Amino acid sequence: MSVLDGGRAPELSVRAVSADDASLARLVAGGAGLLLFVSEECPTSALALRRLGPLVEAWAGAGLRAVAVFEDSLEVATRTARRLGWMGPAVAVEQPFETSRRYELQSVPTAVLVDRDVTVRGTVVGWDQPALEALLGRAAELLGVPELPAPAASEPLRKPGCASKAAVDPSLWEALASAAPASGIDEMEEMFARGWTDGLPVVPPTEERVEAMLAGRDPSRSFGPVPPALGEATLARVAACAVLAGCHPSYFPVVLAAVEAALDPAFNLHGQAVTTQPAGQLVIVNGPVRDRIGLNAKMGALGPGSRANLTIGRALRLVVSLTGGGMPGRLDRSTLGQMGKVGFCLAEDEEVSPWEPLHVERGFAPEASVVTLVGCDAPLSISEHRSRTPEDLAHVLAWAASTTWSTNWWPLEEPSVFVICPEHAAMFRQAGWSKQRLRTAMFDAVRKPARELHRGETTQVVHHADPDELITKWASPEGIVFVVAGGEAGRYSAVLGPCTGMGSKIVSREVAAG
């Protein structure tokens, strides 16, 4: 018989502050015991500890003793239990996670009810408030009491957990242990084994590094749940993602503004995180913070070479994938994906731009530092070296974008972002063109008769239009957004097509001082 299906509960092989906490017999001495298997990095485990922790003392008074069994070091277990308000003992199952294997654990959190005879009388996997309430009802029957306090029915009522470390092939842990220096396992390989990466190496988020990133901020402050799995975006967890991404602590205010923008319901991060589209999140930074932290707005602005650009965008994506569960092949169902889903951050070259910066256009003061977030596709390079008039250049830029999203999907409701290179911007400056004039010229330039758009997928606008009716590529000129960036030589601009069909809006947030 499987252990979790009513078999005898295996003895605990754990590290504990008190020997009593490591004894299964001591756990059930009052009539029943509850083992709550968790891990520090699992957001669903944090949810379980936070909601069940305040009930532990009342349970103990009725004879049900509960212990949190962490798949982490004892130091991490003790610190995490205290931070999340767990009022019972916390013990540690360390590598190679033998106790987790004996209990046939597949995911955390898992709650295991054990009776006085050390028999498993029920389990709940993940966070399942109704199932936990039923499990506590079973415990009350074992103890002969009318009822035991249960967690309040609040959202989310159900939430899947994370893979148990015992589910990792033991040979992998053995290989890591044998390959590591005498002081411990290889940190980089451990990060991969824990699933704390986006496929690239990460910086281990030690307590010292996370504290340096937080710089005295309250680690328990929360931005709320991160779609799609709704892990909680505490400052501590966002700081850990920033460390993993390789951010310098001076970048953290920008990361926080980006996370706050991403969690605005108008941005619809949930839709972007689970869609089959290749939607990434573009972070555009304006204001004095650009120079203060060394963001690149010039040559190679969309490419490699700048730590600030690459790690800020990556930190946001790690929050989405690790805290939000938006990992490719799991909740992230993007058919192809794109490199913008690893991390995408761009600073605007306000000094070279002939126009007001993006953040000023969006209502912020010129001296403010602002992050603007856009759900978008990968950049499409636009090579245009022959235009000699602003009218010709506007025409070329606009028609280059005509194929974005889909050749025949006209009009687009969501915005397209044009990154205008300095040489192209200079032509519009010399001609005295405002943003609005360029926007209107581009909008007016790209039109087709509905009959030419009837191949493949089409919009309802095209479907219901007269065959001779001219259809525009964008629903309105406001669907065209400009940012100036890039090297001084080379007439290459770019357009980033939209993440469409889910009503995602552009969202901006001011960067807090410090």
Class of domain 3-166: alpha beta
CA–CA gap between residue 463 and residue 366 (Å, rounded)? 44
Beta carbons of 207 and 280 less than 8 angstroms apart: no
Q: Which amino acid does the sequence have at 379?
A: P
pLDDT digit string (tens) for 130-149?
Answer: 999 999 999 999 999 999 99
User: E-assigned strands of 42-160?
Assistant: 64-70, 90-92, 107-108, 110-115, 120-125, 127-128, 158-159
By CB atoms closer than 10 A (0-12, 13-18, 19+), residue 438 is: buried
Domain ranges (residues) in the chain: 3-166, 207-510
Identify any residues that bridge with 32 across adjacent strands, giving them in sequence order: 64, 115
Choose the weakest-confidence range: 134-143, 179-188, 351-360, 400-409: 179-188
Amino acid sitting at position 451: R
Where does the pLDDT of residue 187 fall: very low under 50, low under 70, confident under 90, or very high at 90 and above? Answer: confident
Unique residue bearing structure tokens 């991403």:
262
Q: What is the pLDDT of residue 177?
A: 42
Q: Distance between CA 56 and CA 50 in Å, rounded?
A: 11
Give the C-alpha distances (Å, rounded to integers) separating 122 from 9, 105, 156, 435: 11, 14, 22, 65
User: What angle (nearest 5°) sits at the alpha carbon of residue 249, between those of residues 80 and 82?
Assistant: 10
Is 70 exceeded by the pLDDT of residue 240? yes
pLDDT band at 168 (very low <50, low <70, confident <90, very high): low
Q: Rounded mean pLDDT of 88-110?
A: 89
φ, ψ dihedrals at 303, nearest 5°: -120, -160
In sequence order, the 6+-apart residues with CB closer than 8 A to the CB of 48 are 36, 38, 109, 111, 127
pLDDT at 183: 42
